[in-house]
Structure 1
Amino acid sequence: MRTTYMAKPGEVDRKWYVVDAKDVSLGRLASTVAAILRGKNKPTYTPHVDTGDFVIVINAAEVKLTGKKSSQKLYYRHISNNPGGMHTRTAGDLKANDPVKLIETSVKGMLPHTPLGRKMGMKLHVYAGEDHSHAAQKPEKLDITNLI
């Protein structure tokens, strides 16, 4: 009788990947990065264990918003619990002012909304420019145009 392989938290081998967001559609970038953070690109994927890898996204300021998303896609946040405390920002405004927040919000929205999903989100590092501070981890460059 065969048994299904279930990964254990201590057995997970994690890698570091660098993804260049320059001229890549935001949704395609976010879904690919979320799959890598969850570990769905590995044969040892187990839904209840964090088997994902670390991802560094560079050039977040140059991500592409297709169609009318820059003016019509809205991001909501609640400043307070008071009535009228909800504020909205367009994706174009968020890209211009805080491109790191735009990509983090998009990717974390595609992860599970559980404690395990929050742990997976901690492995995401986003930078607006080319430079990042993770050279010591020896990250591999990942060309996501081949994965899409």
Structure 2
Amino acid sequence: MRTTYMAKPNEVERNWVVLDATDVALGRISAVAANMLRGKNKPTFTPHVDTGDQVIIINADKVKLTGKKALDKKYCRHSGYPGGIYETSAGKMRAERPDRLIELSIKGMLPKNKLGRKQFTHLHVYAGSEHPHAAQQPKTVDISELI
């Protein structure tokens, strides 16, 4: 009788992956990245172990927002003081902090616990096409094949 395989943290093989966000919808690239961060694209996926890859997203400033999301979608934060709420539209955030736009989207797709916070540290988002992780020899993955 075979038992179910459970990955052990010291046996996990991590790969470095580059995703290009040029003209890809925000939700599409976020879903692909979240699955890679969790390790759901691997046959050794174990829900309680961090089996995911290191994900690099480049060209975050060229991500596509469909419909009227650039104007209508709002991101809120609060300073903690009375009346201290700040609202930013998705279009303004894409212009000023495109990396933050993608990070917030992916963070919402990860588990809300210690494991999810650990997996989120494996995400690297850059507004331009350059990244400082060339020494890790990351593999470029075409998102159109994964969707």
What TM-score do you get using the length of structure 2 for normalisation? 0.98
Q: Which runs of 5+ in 2 are unaligned?
A: none
Alignment of 1:87-106 (within 5 A): 87-106=86-105
2:116 alignment counterpart: 117
Instruction: Provide the C-alpha distance between the structure 2 equivalents of 1:29 and 1:83, rounded to a whole number of angstroms.
Output: 36
Percent identity between the two aligned chains: 61
1:38 alignment counterpart: 38
Across the two proteins, how many residue pairs are aligned to each other?
A: 147
Q: Which runs of 5+ in 1 are unaligned?
A: none
Q: Secondary structure in 2 aligned to 1:4?
A: coil
Q: Secondary structure in 1 aligned to 2:33?
A: helix
Note the aligned Cα RMSD (angstroms): 0.7
Residue 82 of structure 1 and its aligned partner are, at CA, apart by 2.2
What TM-score do you get using the length of structure 1 for normalisation? 0.97
Residue 142 of structure 1 and its aligned partner are, at CA, apart by 0.5
Instruction: Provide the C-alpha distance between the structure 1 equivalents of 2:20 and 2:112, rounded to a whole number of angstroms.
Output: 26
Residue 84 of structure 1 and its aligned partner are, at CA, apart by 1.7
Residue 86 of structure 1 and its aligned partner are, at CA, apart by 1.9
User: Is residue 127 of structure 1 aligned with residue 126 of structure 2?
Assistant: yes
Q: Secondary structure in 2 aligned to 1:6?
A: coil
Alignment of 1:1-148 (within 5 A): 1-79=1-79, 81-148=80-147
Q: Secondary structure in 1 aligned to 2:93?
A: helix
Instruction: Provide the C-alpha distance between the structure 2 equivalents of 1:96 and 1:21, rounded to a whole number of angstroms.
Output: 15
- What are the superposed Cα offsets for residues 91-112 of structure 1, whole Å, 9 maximum, x if unpaired? 1010011101101111111101
Instruction: Provide the C-alpha distance between the structure 2 equivalents of 1:5 and 1:78, rounded to a whole number of angstroms.
Output: 44
Deviating beyond 6 angstroms after TM superposition, the runs of 4 or more aligned structure 1 residues are: none
Instruction: Provide the C-alpha distance between the structure 1 equivalents of 2:77 and 2:51, rounded to a whole number of angstroms.
Output: 30
